[in-house]
A and B are shown apart, each in its own frame.
Chain A
């Protein structure tokens, strides 16, 4: 074992070491062994409400807001008979009442978001399987849903818990399917209300001459599936986007949708609406799909999941995350070939990454993201809980608010995005604050070689030894060049 192997396993593949000596005889076997005890639904996550509750809260909100909107003379989303119902007189001026209802839902959702963010942090702090846990964060970012829209504030977290966690070690196609069918994704990228122009519902509306609201196609999710989730930019054409969008019409959910609903479905559950589906065969990336209904979208997604362009796209992202900002081309080639040969078996890719000499050759090539740095710092200090929102707030301050990358592309995964002057200064200030909280309970001189085995340098050792106080020594350790990278 090379002297830096332990640090690579703990810090680059894992989420950072904790206090105390780590007994790991074979770092590579240790990493792969973690999948046997990875907890898909750890206690912290099991304790927060799921998508069904988010959807129920949203349905209750719609029930309250619709009469108020109507009283204000707005066109009301919903079915036509409801729109003709007489206005309900409101005790308070409708505009104020409307605002109050919106504020109430936002508050409810933000409390949900806070609970989910804390559950994510605690799971990362206490996990016995930090490598799979890191992969959860990787895939959640690959399929990023930004918790900015009102509907998605409380759902970005549940998507990670319900769709990503159970599928990180299976087939990529199953992960893609689970995420695409999750209410967070269907709402975030506007799929839940996309209706085929040739679908039965659209045809019937056209016959009635209903022009109140256009019933139509939304291409947002289809485009991002092709560009971000599967093939990658440059490997698809606009025609593919339209075709995939038409194939996915009818993919919707219960409880959220204000459009004419054919089939009732439980709150937050995926439902296929046959009446919204665009009939006919679709051609995506050169292959024609003649299935009908929901099967058509499923068949296309499964084919995209193992497409050579997808294989290269995923191989590049994985190698960038675990090896270097500019991934070694030979490793990317090997990973892409393995993806195709295995039919998108993610465990095959992880084993290859762990076995690859490139992964172990250069210690600490990656500048940590704020999430990586914060979680590794808390783990180093032996913190195992997040009783309030301080850490959630700190991540916002450090530039990486949880589940809020602001776009479906997710957070960038290269040093240039994170190694910035003010960000570094904020990180150092945070190191100072964290160290003050811990006080002199931890001796940084003993901790440093435990968490940075084989990579701790003389300058950092000396700076810690010369620190004015134990707290300052800890702060210097967390701010050290070795700890800033993984």
Chain B
């Protein structure tokens, strides 16, 4: 139903740009939930959604996979199998409520965590080129929600930072961890050999320790908290949850298993916590880049390029692995080492958010992604 008052209010906020042909804003229901899970540290997409149908996969990864005690991989179709730690997500997939997008990446092509996360969250093409986050720029396009978006973290992550009102919430034990300050200090120390070395070690250790280093906070508990914010009739409609610990340069089998269980627990907690509202929800888990196609010498993988995105939610047209598979044969790899990107995360974000909130995805691309010349993905949701 058209809510004229909301329409006018929003139009006044963002100016005349909204009064364009094909505008679907007014038709959008305002009870839609959107959750972005940022997987900080670069998730190894090839271990999570395993391309078992690609003959080059076995040659590259051999016995390098989930630990034997993790259980059997969940077969998604003839080409892909899911890491056994994602059991709840796999069950949602079987019910058509989860999907995977593979060989996807942001436009960033270097291999720095900080820069890549900044690009992922600002929606720009270069690190620090934009000063606010794409999700924040999306907010004014949405039908009026009763409450602002909520970040389940002590500080508002870059993706949600900007002029639109956002609240952040976290259990008080979490220390202030201002990711932007951390990044700037990193570049300030670049010219100081002693501090640069110490800083790199410190950041690596935090990445490895994951959330435990931030006061023992448990992502699953944070997801339950997010669900309570989102489930309220007048509650938030957009939430961001962060999970750290994906930077698996060594001992990847065990560590990835641990963080994947957390991610699976987060998705499961949202599913249960949202109850009937799950049908109006989409969840997207994305990471700053993928990891090298071949394992390194320490049982891990190094910084790469394309990876996988994980989608869940009752609103989703799930049960699919969506990809234009580039192949893992030596000649098919990006720069001879990484999975080649064949999809753009901005296309996924814009398509998903636009369709979900009933906003023209082209408008989302224009406003939230700085007018990127990328066609939004479509057909991601149930009709």
Give the interface of A toward B (CB within 8 A): 367, 419-422, 424-425, 428-429, 431-433, 436, 459-460, 463, 467-468, 472, 475-476, 479-481, 484
Contacts and interface: CB of A to CB of B under 8 A. Distances in A.
19 contacts: A419-B194, A419-B198, A420-B198, A421-B199, A422-B202, A422-B205, A424-B198, A425-B199, A425-B206, A432-B176, A432-B178, A432-B181, A463-B188, A468-B131, A472-B184, A476-B185, A479-B188, A481-B192, A484-B195
B181 A459 contact: no
Contacts of B131: 468
B183 to A, nearest CB: 11
Nearest to A428: B185
B126 to A, nearest CB: 15
Interface residues of B, number: 25
Given A421-B201, A460-B188, A428 B182 contact: yes
Interface in B144-196: 175-178, 180-182, 184-185, 187-192, 194-195
B56 interface: no
Nearest to B190: A459
Contacts of A460: 188
A310 B53 CA distance: 76
A472 B202 contact: no
B44 to A, nearest CB: 24
B58 interface: no
Contact of A429 (B176, B188, B190, B191): B176
Given A422-B205, A436-B176, A463-B187, A476 B192 contact: no
B175 A429 contact: yes
Contacts of B375: none
Q: Classify the interface of chain A: helix, strand, loop or mixed.
A: helix
B181 A425 contact: no
Nearest to A433: B176
Nearest to B206: A425
Interface in B317-363: none
B203 interface: yes
A101 B1 CA distance: 70
B180 A425 contact: no
Sort A-B residue pairs by CB-CB distance and give the 5 closest, nearest first. Answer: A421-B202, A421-B201, A425-B202, A481-B192, A463-B188
A421 B189 CA distance: 13
Nearest to B194: A419
Contacts of A484: 195
Q: Among the interface residues B184, B195, B199, which one has the most CB atoms of the partner chain A within 10 A?
A: B184
A468 B194 CA distance: 26
A419 B191 CA distance: 16
Interface of B: 131, 175-178, 180-182, 184-185, 187-192, 194-195, 198-199, 201-203, 205-206
Q: Classify the interface of chain B: helix, strand, loop or mixed.
A: helix
Contacts of A432: 176, 178, 181
A479 B180 CA distance: 14
A476 B184 contact: yes
Contacts of B176: 429, 432-433, 436
Contact of B181 (A367, A420, A424, A475): A475
A401 B111 CA distance: 39
Contacts of B202: 421-422, 424-425
A11 to B, nearest CB: 17
Contacts of B198: 419-421, 424
Given A463-B188, A479-B185, A468 B180 contact: yes
A433 B181 CA distance: 11
Nearest to B175: A429
B202 to A, nearest CB: 4
Contacts of B192: 481
A335 B180 CA distance: 47
A410 B182 CA distance: 32
A149 to B, nearest CB: 30
Given A422-B205, A433-B176, A459 B191 contact: yes
A472 B190 CA distance: 18
Given A419-B194, A476-B185, 18 more contacts: A419-B198, A421-B202, A425-B199, A428-B181, A428-B182, A428-B185, A429-B176, A433-B176, A436-B176, A459-B191, A460-B188, A463-B188, A468-B180, A475-B178, A475-B181, A480-B188, A481-B192, A484-B195
A418 B194 CA distance: 12
Contacts of A436: 176
A422 B206 CA distance: 8
Contacts of B175: 429
A476 to B, nearest CB: 6
A478 B181 CA distance: 12
Given A432-B178, A472-B180, A421 B185 contact: no
Q: Among the interface residues A428, A436, A463, A484, which one has the most CB atoms of the partner chain B within 10 A?
A: A428
Contacts of A429: 175-178
Nearest to A464: B188
B213 to A, nearest CB: 8
Contacts of B182: 425, 428
Nearest to A415: B194
Contact of A424 (B180, B188, B199): B199
Contact of A476 (B181, B190, B203): B181
Nearest to A367: B194
Contacts of A433: 176
A341 B53 CA distance: 86
A365 to B, nearest CB: 11
A305 B306 CA distance: 69
Contacts of A468: 131, 180
Q: Among the interface residues A425, A429, A467, which one has the most CB atoms of the partner chain B within 10 A?
A: A425
Contacts of A463: 184, 187-188
Nearest to A480: B188
B186 to A, nearest CB: 10
A67 B178 CA distance: 55
Nearest to B203: A425
Contacts of B190: 459
Q: Among the interface residues A367, A424, A480, which one has the most CB atoms of the partner chain B within 10 A?
A: A424
A481 B181 contact: no
A481 B188 contact: yes
A433 B191 CA distance: 25
Nearest to B131: A468
Contacts of A472: 178, 180-181, 184
A460 to B, nearest CB: 7
Contacts of B187: 463
A424 B186 CA distance: 11
Nearest to B186: A428
A397 to B, nearest CB: 9
B234 to A, nearest CB: 30
Contact of B188 (A420, A421, A422, A459): A459
A419 B180 CA distance: 22
Nearest to B161: A468
Contacts of A480: 188
A480 B188 CA distance: 7
A196 to B, nearest CB: 51
A422 B184 CA distance: 17
A475 B175 CA distance: 15
Contacts of B180: 468, 472
A276 B194 CA distance: 55
Contacts of A424: 195, 198-199, 202
A445 B267 CA distance: 45
A475 B192 CA distance: 18
